[in-house]
Amino acid sequence: MPPGVAAFLLRERAISTPLRLSNREARWLLLSAQGLATIPTGPLDLARIIEQLGFVQLDTIQVVTRAHHHILWSRNQHYREPMLDRFMAQDRGVFEHFTHDASVIPMAFYPMWRRQFERLEKKVRSWGWHRARGQGVSLASVKKRIQSEGPLSTRDFSSQPRGDREMWSRPPHKLILDYLWYAGDLTTSHRVNFTKFYDLAERVIPAEYRGLQIEDQDQVRWLCENALERLVLATAGDLQRFWDALDSAEAQSWIADSRDSLIPVEVIDADRSCRTVFAAPDLEQRLVTLAPPTSRLRILNPFDPLLRDRKRLRQLFGFDYTVEMFVPAARRRWGYYVYPLLEGDRFVGRLEVKAERKQGQLQVKRLWSEPGVRWTSKRAQKLDAELKRLAQLVSVPEVRWICNRSPEIGEPPPAA
């Protein structure tokens, strides 16, 4: 959008409120905010990438590479797997805790996470950690061992559940370690082959962040403002779900209190329907500098933050996507771990691929194109180039196709 037009439309919103954005503009804004609008090259600034995203979800599944590595690589393809572990364990650039799932979060955000420690501490009380005291394990005994021995993993403890096995789905020491971790008394020191090592928070979190006290209402304001910065266009529900560190009423209250500064926006969705959301005051500047995203084809991880909110994904991109590793095999439409293919501002297909590291191969098992997408030779070349780059990430020399290179035609989702 030309700068003059963007500025004119925003000045006129007092007359024609709210501002209306096309579906393409809404896509471009989100892709830009999510770090997926530019070619993922250039100097790697890991701290900046994580701060731009707000957090990076951790996941243990490694079909090609673990989700957190893939998410970071998608933003800059100079990233390699050991870098995040070093950034946490040596540089202390991030801490690990819960958003909607286990995630790494910029260390500078730690003071704003105190309410989350309190919220989750109350929640995990119901998990039965206190029953561990009757099993010969206590909060004090676990903390004393870590204090004297240094960071420990669950493998360093040997307590076993007694009595009803269903009740004791986890050993007593694991219940206590989790409780202390959620409450913020313990934190993740480092990971070895994705095994978490727990340490006292005061030995991991720098004093400048650990000692800073922020009023709860200021934490809520910060959470909402920073969620909106990364979503660009959002409802109260979007803000609440982003960090999952506040409740719906708090998000709605913040919007009500901030209406004078927020910009109401009508967004045209992929199905041409219209919905009303809110944008931050810097929307004008974002529109002035808005540019088309790179046409590079990207293989995105199923846990990429762009995909996390499936409802928003359908609304803006018309892309229906489900993570099916938790779906029984007989009921899967696609496969265990299927990667969406993003080209520019459009999802063009899905890919089932697996790294066979011992064989030195990245194996392409199935390929689908989205309905209405013509699979041209140019698009096939883009996918080949991205597969080679993905193979470099996991240090395998060969990309091997074990399926037809012509994609299957993806079927539209069944009618509701």
Count Cβ atoms within 10 A of the Cβ of residue 122 and give its class: 0-12 exposed, 13-18 middle, 19 or more buried.
exposed
Average pLDDT over residues 49-61: 97
Confidence of residue 171 (pLDDT cuts 50, 70, 90): confident
Nearest to 351 by CA among 306, 308, 394, 382: 382
Confidence of residue 162 (pLDDT cuts 50, 70, 90): low
Question: What is the Cα–Cα distance from 96 to 189, expressed in whole angstroms?
Answer: 9
Contact present, 355 and 63 (Cβ < 8 Å): yes
Decide if pLDDT at 120 tops 60: yes
Average pLDDT over residues 90-99: 97
Decide if pLDDT at 62 tops 60: yes
Question: What is the Cα–Cα distance from 121 to 384, expressed in whole angstroms?
Answer: 47
Angle, in degrees to the nearest 10, between helices 236-243 and 216-231: 100
Decide if pLDDT at 415 tops 50: no
pLDDT at position 168 is 46
Contact present, 300 and 72 (Cβ < 8 Å): no
Tens of pLDDT along 316-354? 999 999 999 989 999 999 999 999 999 999 999 999 999
Residues with Cβ within 8 Å of 315's Cβ and at least 6 positions away in sequence, in order, are: 269, 270, 271, 275
pLDDT at position 164 is 57
In this structure, of 2-16, 238-252, 396-410, the range with the lowest mean pLDDT score is 2-16
Average pLDDT over residues 302-320: 96
Percent of the chain with pLDDT over 90: 83
Placement of tokens 């590079």 in the chain = 296
3-state SS class at 100: coil
The pTM (predicted TM-score) of the whole model is 0.92
Contact present, 47 and 84 (Cβ < 8 Å): no
Decide if pLDDT at 12 tops 50: no
In this structure, of 44-48, 119-123, 266-270, 301-305, the range with the lowest mean pLDDT score is 119-123
Tens of pLDDT along 272-285? 999 999 999 999 99
Question: What is the Cα–Cα distance from 97 to 58, expressed in whole angstroms?
Answer: 10
pLDDT at position 400 is 98
Decide if pLDDT at 111 tops 70: yes
Confidence of residue 14 (pLDDT cuts 50, 70, 90): very low
Alpha helices in 133-211 (DSSP H): 139-149, 172-182, 201-204, 207-210
